[in-house]
Structure 1
Amino acid sequence: MVLFSLVASHSSIDLETVARLSAGAAAVSADVVAGDNAVAGLITLATCNRYELYVQARSAEEVSDARQSIVSAVSFHCGLGEEFVSDALATQHGTHVPRHLFAVSTGLESAVVGEREIAGQVRRALSTAQQAGVSTPALVRLFQSASKTAKEVGARTALGQRGMSIVSVALDLATELADSPSLAGKTAVLFGTGAYAGAAMAQLTQRGCTDIRVYSSSGRAETFTSSRGGMALDESSMPGALAAAHLLLGCSGSEHQLTALDLAQMRQGVSTQLTAIDLALSRDFAPEVADLPNVDLLTLETVRQAAPEEQESTLSEAAALVEDAAKNFEQAQNSRSLDHAIVALRRHTMGVLDDEIAKIRQQHGCTAATAEVEFAMRRMVKQLLHVPTVRAKELAAAGDSESYLAALDALYGLKVEPAARPAATASQRTASDPGTQGSDGQVASA
C-alpha cells in the first residue's frame, strides 16, 4: 500500500488558482480511477480554501506515474497547463500524508483556525468517493482516522470551542460594518443551496435574521427553502430582493457571476447600505461590486485576514494530538505490510501438519486416540506460530519487514513475494470489498 497526496491550499497559493484547479474535481476522480493507470484509488477534498487529492498508488514504483496521471487529468478538466498544475500541487509522502489531513480535519490548517465546517467536509469527501466507487480500504481508513482525530482534538482541547467558522467570522465583520450587533429586521439574499449555503442559513437564523431569500441558478432554491425556511427566488423576483437586501451571501460558486452593472441596475435609486459577502471560491460577485456606492464587499481573503488567532497553548495541544495520531496511523499501516508473509507461514506450517495427521489416520484409522493426537498437534502448532506472528507485527510497525522475510527464507525456505497488482478496477473493489464501505478491510498489497 502506497499513499500520497497532492495539495493546493490558501497557505501556499492564491485562492483564485485553487478555484481554477478544483474545477471539474468530480470528473477528475472518475476519469483517473476508471483509466488504465497506476492509480488504485482517489479521494478529493475540495473546499473554499483548498483542493487536495489523496491517492493510493498500485505500488511504490508507480507513484510517479500515478501523480502524472492525476496532473494530466486536472490539467485537462481545469484548462491549465500540465507544468503549471504540477507546480501548484505540492506532493506529500509517508507520515506527511496523515499528519496533514489530520491537521486539516481538526481545523489547524484552516483560514479560520479551529473552524467547525472542515470536519464535515472531510467526512463528505470520503462518502462521495465511496459512492462514486473511487475509494480503497486504505484511503477509507485514512479518512476515518482523520475524523476520529478531529473528534479527539475537539474533546481534549479548547480548539474550536468558540464555534468559529468562515461564515461566522464573515458575519461578525458584516455586523461591525453595519454598526449593528444583530441581524434582526435585516433582509439577506443567499446565493447557493449546497452544504456551505446550509451553514450560512443556520448562522443567519441564529443571529436573528428572519427575512432570508435564496437564489440558485440550478433551480434548487425551492427544495432548499422547503426544509430550511426562507423564500426561494427566481430570475423575476431577484431584482426586487436585491433592492431590499441589507446583506448578500455568495456560497454557490456557479458560473453565473453577479456583475457590478447588474447589481447597480437592480438597486437603482436605493441608498440602503449593502454588505456583500463572497464566500465562493470561484467568486459569486464580481470584484467591481466593491466600487459601487453604499456597497461593501467582503471576500474569503478578507475573512482570512480578520480571523482571530487561537491561544498558543491550545494550538500546541492540538498539534501534539495530531502528531500522535499520525504516528499511530503509520504504525498501524506498517503492521499490515507483513500480513501476506504471516499467511504464507501459516499455510506452510498447517500444510505440514495436515500431511502428518493424514499419515496417522492411515496407520491408526479415525479413532478417539487419533482425534486426541490431532487436537494436541494443532494446539501445539498454534502456540508455536504465536511468537512469529507477534514478531511480524512488531517488525512491520518498526519498518523492518525485510528481516522477517529473510528469516522465513533462511529457516523455512519460504520466498514470500509482494502481493500481485490487483486486476480489478477500483469500482469493482468497492462493490465487492466491504472494507471500502467503512470496515477495516485489508489492502491486498505488500
Structure 2
Amino acid sequence: MSLILLGVNHTTAPVEVRERLAIPADGLADATRSLLQHPGVREGLILSTCNRVEFVAEEDDANLPDLRKFLREYFSLQASAIEPHLYEFRERDAVRHLFRVASSLDSMVVGEPQILGQVKESYSVAREVGAVSKSLERLLQSAFTTAKKVRTETEIGSSSVSIASVAVDLAHRIFGSLEGRQVLLVGAGKMSLLAARHLMQQGATQILVANRTPERAQQLAAEFHGLAVPFADLQEHAPKADIIITSTGALGYVFTRAQAQAILHRRKGKPIFFIDIAVPRDVEPAANEVDGAFVYSIDDLQQVASANMVQRSAEAAAAEKIVSREVDRFQLRLQSLDAVPAIVAVQEFAEQMRQAELERARGRLASLSAEQAAAVDALTKSLVNKFLHRPMQGMREAARAGDGVALDTMRRVFSRGNEESLRNDEEI
C-alpha cells in the first residue's frame, strides 16, 4: 500500500483559507471523480467539513501523484495561498492521522460525534464513483473499527458535544442566560438540529427556522415548537432575533455588512449576535464593524473548545493508546498481505515442477490403475506441501517483521524464468 494524505484543518489554516477549499456536499462526487482521474491516483477519497479538507490517495507506483498540483488546478489557487497551511502524511503516518480523525481526536471539539459520520459519508460517495477499491476499503473499515473502539472503551464521548453545542455555550456566555431570548437558525441541517436542542435546554423562548427547502424548515421548527419562516423573507424576520446561528452551504454571504446595519437599525440599538458555523462563511466579516453587531466565526469557537479539551485530556490519552494499537495491527495486516504474492509464486512454481515431473514419468506410470495413479498424485502433492511449509512460514514471518528484501528475493527467484528452469531440469 502506497498512501498519501494532504490537507488543511482548523489548526493549520484560518477559516478564510479553509472556505476557499471547501467542497459542498452536492459537489463531493464530482470532486472525487476529478481526484481519481489525476495522474498517479489509483484510489481516492475527499473529506470536506467545516474544520478540514483532506485528500487521501493510494498511489500508482509507476506514476506518483502530485496532490499539491491537483489542489492548485481544481481550486484555481496560487501555491503561495495554500502551501503554508498544508500538511502531508505518508504510509503509517497517514494511517494514524486518518484513524485519529475518525476517532474525533483531531477535532476542534475532541470527542464530538459528527466527524465519524462525515468520514463515512465521504467513503460512501467515493465508493459510489468507483474511487475506493481494496486498499482504501481495508484502510477505512479499520478506521471505523478504531473509532468504535475509542467510543466504547473510553469516556471521550461521555457528554454530547459538537461545534453546535460550543456555539450555544458561547451564546450563553454572552447573555448570561438565554431565558426569553429569540433565536433564528439559518439552515436546517445536522448542525442546526443540534444547536436547536442545546438552545431549548438553555431556556430559549422561541426558535425561528429558515431554510432554502421549506419542508425541512417546517419539520425542524415543529420538532422544537418553533416557527418556520420563508428563506426569501430572511431579512424581514432577522431583526426579531437576539441570536442568529447560521449553518448553510451557501456560496455567498447570507448576511452582508449592509444587511447587518439594516437589522440593527430596526432593532433600535439592541445588539445582535451572529454565530457563523458555516464554511464557507455565511456572515460577511465586515459585519463585525457595525455598532451593536457581534460576529463569531467557527474559528472563534476555538477558545471555548480548548476548555473542553482540558476536561477530556485523560480520556484522550486513553484513546490515543487505542489508535496506536490499531495502527500497529493494521500495519501487521498489510505486511502479512505483502507475503501473499511471494507465497503464491512459490506455490505456482512448485506445482509446475510437480506436474512436469509427473508428465516425464507418464510412460513408466501407464500400467497403474486409476486408484494407484490418484495415490501417486496425492503423494507428490503431500511431499510438495511439506517441503514448502517451512519456506512459507519464513515468508510470513519476514512480512510481519517488515523484511521486504527477503520477500522480494523470493518473488524474483520463483517468478522469473520458471519455464526455462523447468526445461533445464528436464535436460539434466
Both proteins in one fold, TM over 0.5: yes
Report Cα offsets for 1:367-387 as digits up to 9, x if no partner: 222223323433443344333
Report Cα offsets for 1:374-402 as digits up to 9, x if no partner: 23433443344333333223212322122
2:239 is aligned to: 243
Count of aligned residue pairs for this structure pair: 405
Q: 1:139 Cα shift?
A: 1.5
Contact 2:168 2:195 in 1 (8 A): no
1:95 is aligned to: 92
Gap change, CA 1:393 and 1:284, over 3 Å in 2: same
Rounded Cα–Cα distance in structure 2 between residues aligned with 1:303 and 1:321: 28
Q: 1:319 Cα shift?
A: 1.5
Rounded Cα–Cα distance in structure 1 between residues aligned with 2:172 and 2:104: 24
1:270 aligns with 2:270: no
Rounded Cα–Cα distance in structure 2 between residues aligned with 1:245 and 1:235: 15
Rounded Cα–Cα distance in structure 2 between residues aligned with 1:192 and 1:406: 60
Match 2:40 to one of 13, 38, 41: 38
Match 2:215 to one of 218, 222, 235: 222
1:15 is aligned to: 15
Q: Give the aligned residue type for 2:213.
A: R
1:328 is aligned to: 329
Q: Give the aligned residue type for 1:31.
A: S
Gap change, CA 1:341 and 1:263, over 3 Å in 2: same
1:191 is aligned to: 186
**Percent identity between the aligned chains?**
25
Contact 2:165 2:194 in 1 (8 A): no
- Which moves more between the two structures, 186-195 or 254-263? 186-195
2:230 is aligned to: 234
Q: 1:336 Cα shift?
A: 1.5
Task: Look at both structures and tell me which one has the larger radius of gyration over its CA atoms.
Answer: 2
Rounded Cα–Cα distance in structure 2 between residues aligned with 1:352 and 1:8: 55
Contact 2:99 2:146 in 1 (8 A): yes
Q: 1:96 Cα shift?
A: 0.7
1:428 is aligned to: none
Rounded Cα–Cα distance in structure 2 between residues aligned with 1:50 and 1:233: 31
Rounded Cα–Cα distance in structure 2 between residues aligned with 1:413 and 1:5: 33
Rounded Cα–Cα distance in structure 2 between residues aligned with 1:386 and 1:341: 13
Q: 1:214 Cα shift?
A: 3.3
SS of 2:123's partner is helix
Report Cα offsets for 1:309-368 as digits up to 9, x if no partner: 234432322222212222221222222223222221111112223344554596245522
Written as runs of structure 1 = structure 2, the 5 A alignment for 1:22-421 is 22-23=22-23, 26=28, 27-35=30-38, 37-59=39-61, 62-63=63-64, 66-67=65-66, 70-180=67-177, 186-204=181-199, 211-216=206-211, 219-223=212-216, 225-226=218-219, 229=222, 231-257=227-253, 258-266=255-263, 268-271=265-268, 273-307=271-305, 308=307, 309-358=310-359, 359=361, 363-364=366-367, 367-407=370-410, 409=412, 414=416
Contact 1:190 1:214 in 2 (8 A): yes
Gap change, CA 1:81 and 1:280, over 3 Å in 2: same
Rounded Cα–Cα distance in structure 2 between residues aligned with 1:221 and 1:189: 15
Rounded Cα–Cα distance in structure 1 between residues aligned with 2:312 and 2:157: 11
Contact 1:360 1:370 in 2 (8 A): no
Greater RCO (CA < 8 Å, at least 6 residues apart): 1
1:420 is aligned to: none
Rounded Cα–Cα distance in structure 2 between residues aligned with 1:195 and 1:415: 60
Gap change, CA 1:231 and 1:380, over 3 Å in 2: farther
- Which moves more between the two structures, 265-274 or 4-13? 265-274
Unaligned 5+ segments in structure 2 are 419-428
Q: Give the aligned residue type for 1:393.
A: R
1:427 is aligned to: none
Unaligned 5+ segments in structure 1 are 417-446
Q: Give the aligned residue type for 2:325.
A: D
Q: TM-score, normalised by structure 2?
A: 0.84
Report Cα offsets for 1:90-131 as digits up to 9, x if no partner: 221121101111112222211122222112111112112111
Gap change, CA 1:314 and 1:179, over 3 Å in 2: same
Alpha-carbon RMSD across the aligned residues, in angstroms, is 2.9
Contact 1:242 1:263 in 2 (8 A): no
- Which moves more between the two structures, 371-380 or 340-349? 371-380
